[in-house]
Amino acid sequence: MTRRRWIADRVDGDHAWLLGQNAHHLFRVLRAQAGQQFDIAADGVLRVGTITLATSEKVEFHLGEEVRSESLPQVDVYLSIFKFDRMEWALEKLTELGIAQIVPLIATRTAQHLAKAAEARVERWRKIAREASQQARRLAPPEIAAPARIAAVIGERRSATIVLSEVEDSVSLKAAVAGCRPPLALAFGPEGGWTPEELEQFTAAGWKPASLGQTILRAETAAIAAVAVVMAELS
């Protein structure tokens, strides 16, 4: 029988805790009791956790042996900011697909009111990613970085880097990924796409342009489709 998996909110040696909403759900909804066992992701390591104390505010576990868990290829996503409701749906699905990090980008065509409001949304995005990680049985949520300008981040990568481009017509994403090894980074433009100047910045920094095909996809569709392709190729 597969045990339900939780990501610990706090870890100290061989003890871990679920707090707040996680504790409330486990105690009130799942009727957790002392002695029950669950898989607990504690500091990136999966271990068997036995409940020693359960309340609606805190569930404490004693951590036992490690549980074998498959590692995911490291894929980071540089995602230009777009309408928050659709972006948050994309963050949830990208987390389920197994990405390691999301860097929200402020691109030239990012709407100014979204760029200004993005900083205040980061904690909400991290909460969404954490909840999606538990649902997807991940060991840890992806890192959600603070919003950044393109020029500040595209030159920092030292791994394989691919920028998805609507104007690229000769290199498919599948071809661009062929032969690559993790870690890998993918960059996605905002609604309206990258400007020519931004594409020049990417290529000058060593990013390889690639296409998802002839149809024009919405930002969230492009990100999810591309990551699914990449994960399949790297697995």
The predicted pLDDT at position 21 comes to: 87
CATH value of 5-66 in 2.60.120.380, 2.40.240.20, 1.10.1330.10, 3.40.50.720: 2.40.240.20
Query: Are residues 184 and 75 in contact, defined by beta-carbon separation less than 8 angstroms?
Result: yes
Res 159 pLDDT > 90 = no
Parse the chain into domains and list their residue ranges: 5-66, 75-234
Mapped to the 3 state alphabet, what secondary structure does the chain carry?
Answer: CCCCEEECCEEECCEEEEEHHHHHHHHHHCCCCCCCEEEEEECCEEEEEEEEEECCCEEEEEEEEECCCCCCCCEEEEEECCCHHHHHHHHHHHHHHCCCEEEEEECCCCCHHHHHHHHHHHHHHHHHHHHHHHHCCCCCCCEECCCEEHHHHCCCCCCEEEEECCCCCCCEHHHHHCCCCCCEEEEECCCCCCCHHHHHHHHHCCCEEEECCCCCCCHHHHHHHHHHHHHHHHC
pLDDT of residue 30: 87
**% of residues, the chain, pLDDT over 70:** 100
What does the block give as tokens for 62?
């004693």
Specify the long-range contacts of residues 88-93, CB closer than 8 Å, at least 24 apart. 88/124, 88/125, 88/128, 89/220, 90/219, 90/220, 90/223, 90/224, 91/125, 91/128, 91/129, 91/132, 91/144, 92/128, 92/129, 92/131, 92/132, 93/132, 93/220, 93/224
Residue 1, pLDDT above cutoff 80: no
- In sequence order, what are the residues at sequence separation of 6 or more whose Cβ sits closer than 8 angstroms to the Cβ of residue 126? 141, 144
Whose tokens are 């920092």? That residue is 156
Mean pLDDT of 4-24: 92
pLDDT confidence band for 4 (50 / 70 / 90): confident
Mean pLDDT for 68-84 is 93
Number of neighbours of residue 101 by Cβ within 10 angstroms: 15
| Terminal CA-CA length for the chain | 26
Check pLDDT > 90 for residue 40: yes
Q: Encode pLDDT of 93-133 as tens digits.
A: 999 999 999 999 999 999 999 999 999 999 999 999 999 99
pTM above 0.85, yes or no: yes
Residue pLDDT, tens place only, 193-229: 999 999 999 999 999 999 998 888 999 999 999 999 9
**Shared fold status for 5-66 and 75-234:** no
pLDDT surpasses 70 at 33: yes
Cβ distance 231 to 98 under 8 Å? yes
For residue 138, give the amino acid letter: R
β-pairing, 15-19 vs 10-12, is: antiparallel
* Architecture field, domain 75-234: 3-Layer(aba) Sandwich (3.40)
